Structures are given as C-alpha cells and as structure tokens.
Amino acid sequence: MRQCQIAKHRPVMLDSALAASAAHFFSRLMMSRLILLVALLLGAGVCAAAEAPKAVLDAVRSVAPSAKVDSVQPASMPGFYFVIVEGHVLYVSSDGRYLVEGVVIDTTRHIDLKTEALSGMRKDGVAKIPADKRLVFAPPHPKYKVTVFTDVDCPYCKQFHKQIADYNRLGIEVDYVLFPLSIHPGADKKAEAVWCARDRNSAYTEAMNGKPLEQKTCNNPIKELTSAAMGMGLSGTPAIIADDGSELGGYVPPDDLARRLESLAAAKVAPN
C-alpha cells in the first residue's frame, strides 16, 4: 500500500522483559495463526461482561504499559474483545489471558473478522466527523464521495492532491480530514496553519505544493481528528475511506479509484 505508516516506524512497544519472546512469537505468527486461533477458541475462558473490559485493559497494559488504548468492544469471535491500540488492531480474550494480532477468518462466512469490524467502526466514525471539520474538494455534481485522512508532510498525500482536479473530473468528491502523523515532526503545526488560514482549501493546496505557510494559532480540531483516526484503527496516510467504511487504499490513482467506487456502487444494488 502506498501510504505513510506510523506502524512501520513506531510499533506498540513491549516492555524489555517481553521483547525477545514477542519478536520470536511474531516471526512465526504467519504460519501458525489459524492453528493458534483454534487453540485459543478452545481454551479461552469467558468472564462476566462487566469484568471483561478491565481484564482486557490490564492484559494490554501488561505487555505495552505506555500504549494508548483507543477503543475496546466485544468481538464477533466468541470470548474475545476487539481492541485498537495506537491504531493497531488486537484481539484479547475476555479473561485477559490471550492476545492475538493478525488475520482472523470466519470459516463459515469466509470473511476476515478484522476487516469487517474495522469497516463498521470506520463507517460510524467517518459519519460523526461534521462537514465543518473537513476540507472539501468537490465537483459540481459528485457521483461518489470519499473521506481521505491526510498529512501535509506525507509524500503520497502530496501525490494524491496533485491530481485532485482529475478525481473531481471523474465525479469524486474528496473530503480531507487532517491527520498529522507522529513520524513527521512539525506536521501538527503545519496542519494547524492550514486550519487557521482564511482560505483553508487554498492553504492546504499551497502546503501540499511545498509552500511555507504563515504559522497561525487558533481553536482547531487537529487533536480531536487525530484521536478519531487512531480510534478507527488508522495508522497511515493517505487513508481513503468509502461511505460504507471500507478502506480503498493509500494513494490510488484517479482512474483506479473511480473503478473501485463504481464496483462498490454496483455491489450495493446487486441482488443477493
């Protein structure tokens, strides 16, 4: 995926006592995920619902004491919670004993449970971001709309915005949400400068073209939007989210994005 990623530069940090065993574990994870999942489903105990969140939080903190837990909710996999930690997705058993990172497949429905859960969360999360907290670039009569989480210092975001006229020409409305990544020092200040400008869209375009902006300070939603993005399991930019919550990729060329949106629209009207 053509995207600037927090995960590649700042993974959730395990404490030193667990780092070696964790590294060994994850190096073998790709070949053993399904076997491990079966074992977990057979062996995990289920505690009372009222006790589960504390047990789950304690489990995460036992391996990543300083990590910020963005959200916790019951998973569709019985006996587990779906947890997002600094944009990373984990499954934790309700008794706090087991923690799983990776793909979890429902073999009956043949779907990835993580993708399903994230799509639902992102659909709801994006819908809660009001229009006055977005930078909207739209054609006169849009056929499609995407929400794009963006970082002024991300090269792929710059490439995307250089083609904004092409996306609009294809009938795609682009709603940007500012999401400065921690791997880009000072990106938060640049996002603030864009937000505090008299003409935000023009300021964003200038910033994406490398033009220094006058640093201004004002009430702004940057921290709120960053927290919202992390809570949706996003850890990179650009992140293109469709109205149904599906992530369509990082940087996607205009024609390719139009085809993907057309396919999504066709799937909605196709008979079951």
Residue 171 maps to which CATH number? 3.40.30.10
Last residue of a domain, one of 79, 109, 139: 109
For residue 112, what pLDDT is reported? 83
Give me the number of domains the chain comprises: 2
What is the reported pTM?
0.74
Residue 43: what pLDDT?
A: 35
Per-residue confidence band for 51, with pLDDT thresholds at 50, 70 and 90: very low
Query: Amino acid letter at 253?
Result: P
Question: Is residue 188 domain-shared with residue 100, that is, in the same domain?
Answer: no
Q: Which residues pair with 83 in a beta bridge?
A: 72, 90
Domain final residue pick, 54, 83, 109: 109
Average the pLDDT over each of 117-121, 214-218, 233-237, 250-254 and give the range with the smallest value: 117-121
pLDDT digits (tens, 9 = 90+) for 177-207: 999 999 999 999 999 999 999 999 999 999 9
Q: Are residues 265 and 140 in the same domain?
A: yes
Structural domain that includes position 23: 4-109
38 and 130 within one domain: no
- Phi and psi, residue 173, nearest 5°: -85, 130
Residue 114 resides in a domain: no
Judge whether 218 lies within some domain: yes
**Same domain flag for 131 and 265:** yes
Quick check: 214 pLDDT over 70?
yes
Task: Note whether 88 and 203 are same-domain residues.
Answer: no
118 occurs within a structural domain: no
Instruction: Give residues with Cβ within 8 angstroms of 128, minimum separation 6.
Output: 228
Arithmetic mean of pLDDT over the chain: 82
CATH number, domain of 84, equals 3.10.450.70
Select from 82, 64, 86, 65 the least CA-distant residue to 73: 82
Query: For 65-97, how does the pLDDT look when each residue is reduced to its tens digit (9 = 90+)?
Result: 888 888 888 888 899 998 888 778 889 999 999
Residue 165 has a pLDDT of 98
Q: Do 94 and 192 reside in the same domain of the chain?
A: no
Report CA Rg, the chain. 20
